[in-house]
Amino acid sequence: MATVQVRYIVNDVDPAVAFYTGQLGFKLEMRPAPPFAMLSRGDLRLVLSQPSGMGGGGQSMPDGTKPQPGGWNRFAIEVADLEALVTTLKKAGAHLRSDIITGVGGKQVIVDDPSGNPVELFQPITAEARLGGRSG
């Protein structure tokens, strides 16, 4: 059940929906309008907004600045087998920002969605490093 919401700006909602549902295990919750979709994966709800004049999350700023994809802020999802997923993603033509990095608690890598938004993929090595593991 999704209880945490984040918003990503995407250039095109359809390829983003295909990427998140096809490669990363998200479920499509709603697709009510061309510039908007709502996806979920466990407790995470991901809303995708395309820059548009339709109000809401993709609306331009008062000075005319359009929201755009990219940057470094990202959600992190836990995966069971990072190397297998990376192999699958590479075969599908996805762009990874680095090779797999092994840290204290686990292995991680950042993959870009079709608009260039980062997603952090994390495989814990220790029980303490499980995402949200301490609270159950």
Partner 1 sequence: MAACFRYIVNDVTAAIDFYTQHLGFKLEMRPARAFAEISRGDMHLYLSEPARMGGGAPMPSGEAQKPGGWNRIHIVVDDLDAMIAKFKAAGGHFRNEAVQGTGGKQILLEDPSGNLIELFQPNTPDYRPPGSGSQAAQR
DSSP 59: P
Q: Round to whole Å and give the CA distance between 101 and 89.
A: 16
- Closest to partner 1 by CB, 1 vs 93, is 1
Tokens 């059940």 belong to residue: 1
Query: Could you tell me the smallest distance in angstroms from the CB atom of residue 126 to partner 1?
Result: 13
- Closest to partner 1 by CB, 21 vs 74, is 74
Q: Round to whole Å and give the CA distance between 119 and 85.
A: 13
Query: Could you tell me the smallest distance in angstroms from the CB atom of residue 35 to partner 1?
Result: 11
Q: Round to whole Å and give the CA distance between 93 and 77.
A: 20
- Closest to partner 1 by CB, 14 vs 110, is 110
Query: Could you tell me the smallest distance in angstroms from the CB atom of residue 86 to partner 1?
Result: 15
Give the residues lining the site for partner 1 (CB under 8 A): 1-9, 29-30, 32-33, 38, 42-45, 47, 55-57, 59, 61-62, 67-77, 97-99, 101, 103-104, 108, 117, 120, 131-132, 135-136
In angstroms, the Cα distances linking 41 to 37, 61, 103 are 14, 30, 25
Query: Could you tell me the smallest distance in angstroms from the CB atom of residue 127 to partner 1?
Result: 15
Of 9, 46, 6, 52, give the one whose Cα is nearest residue 30: 46
- Closest to partner 1 by CB, 18 vs 33, is 33
